[in-house]
Amino acid sequence: MKILVFGAGVIGSTYAWQLSEAGYDVMMFIRKHRMVRYSHSGISINCTDLRGKKESFFSTVFRPKTIDRLEPKQAFDLIIVCLKNFQLQDAVPYIAKYSGNAHILFLGTIWHEFKLIEHHIPRARVLYGFPAMAGGGRAENSITCTLFKNGNTMLGGAERKSDRTINDIAMVFGKSGMQPKISFRMKHWIKVHCIWKAASFGAICKAGNAKAFASAYKAVKHSVLAIKEGLIVANREQVRAWTIFPFTLFYLPSFIITFLLKKSYKEEMLEVTERHMKHGFDEMKKQYYDILNDGKKHHINMSYWQSYEAHILKAENTRN
């Protein structure tokens, strides 16, 4: 299988590296001004691998094959799009025009962008996924990543059905150690995950950092109440969150889900979250406001959700 990874951030670089290590023909789409550095100097990777029986840490240099221009004659079988949600507005029409007959997997957080994608690309060629297998942060020419023991690369089609293509792509990720899991409600899965992460983002801005948030029962409970408001928005958007595990747990009483969430916030997860707060702030802010604005559109009371707004703006000003 000939694979192109479109996006050279932490997720794109990590997946391209692991797919290449498994022996697949992988290329990366790189901005022109970075071509020389990526092709010759490569990407320095510092990886914490939790997949085995024991935690391992190692450093390596990944020198991917790169292109800075997409053409149909390149005949990729699969294009994995690892871009931030606000980058899709410009990228999707370009990919649609020059991707040939490739299947295109959008690997990341999406809320409104499903309509954009399916307007430009035939649904039969579109797949959606989420990289719950990996996370980290990046510097100018290096990344720090964690590969989780119990994480998965979530995969699904644009429609509620499985087919040979999804199974073949799952096999590719499986051979690469990226632990695929197929969902027949992938679009719904992504939207509910978006609600959870956006509410957590607001709560972390309020607490000051991820560890302070995770250690405070009141802060986690407040985020749970915001999530429940977000689930009402999802329901109005025809997302049936209660049918999707593990998000069915969000419908438990608040004190139970608060206890479960606090227990799930392991040290390695908080470290990855802290890096993502630094490098993915703009994307998470967009998620937060997309959901808030849809709540306003449906006249939903989102007092817990909206209470984070001042703290997000304060955190943004501190960053600048």
Which CATH entry fits the domain spanning 188-319: 1.10.1740, 2.40.30, 3.40.50, 1.10.1040? Answer: 1.10.1040
Across 11-20, 114-123, 140-149, 283-292, least confident range? 140-149
CB-count exposure of residue 48 (10 Å: 0-12, 13-18, 19+): middle
To which H or E segment does residue 241 belong?
none
DSSP 250: G
Please, where in the chain does CATH 1.10.1040 lie? 188-319
- Report pLDDT for 160: 67
Kindly indicate the confidence band of residue 142, based on its pLDDT and cuts at 50, 70 and 90: confident
Average pLDDT over residues 282-305: 97
* Nearest partner of 143 among 21, 281, 27, 275, judged by Cα: 275
SS3 state at 75: coil
Strands (E), 88-125: 103-107
Going by their DSSP bridges, the two strands 65-67 and 126-131 should be labelled as unpaired
* Nearest partner of 86 among 305, 314, 288, 303, judged by Cα: 288
Please, where in the chain does CATH 3.40.50.720 lie? 2-183
pLDDT exceeds cutoff 90 at 33: no
Q: What is the pLDDT of residues 181-209, one digit of tens each?
A: 999 899 999 999 999 999 999 999 999 99
> Contact 101/243 with Cβ under 8 angstroms?
no
Report residue 233 as tokens: 């928005």
When computed from its CA atoms, the radius of gyration of the chain, rounded to whole angstroms, is: 19
Kindly indicate the confidence band of residue 161, based on its pLDDT and cuts at 50, 70 and 90: low
The architecture (CATH level 2) of 2-183 comes to 3-Layer(aba) Sandwich (3.40)
Q: Please tell me the distance from the alpha carbon of residue 136 to that of residue 273, in angstroms, as a whole number.
A: 8
Strands (E), the chain: 2-6, 25-29, 43-49, 56-62, 65-67, 78-81, 103-107, 126-131, 134-138, 142-147, 153-157, 180-182
- Report pLDDT for 162: 65
Q: Encode burial over 192-231: b for 16+ CB neighbours within 10 A, e otherwise.
A: bbbbbbbbbbbbbbbbeebbebbeeeebbbbbbbbbbbbb
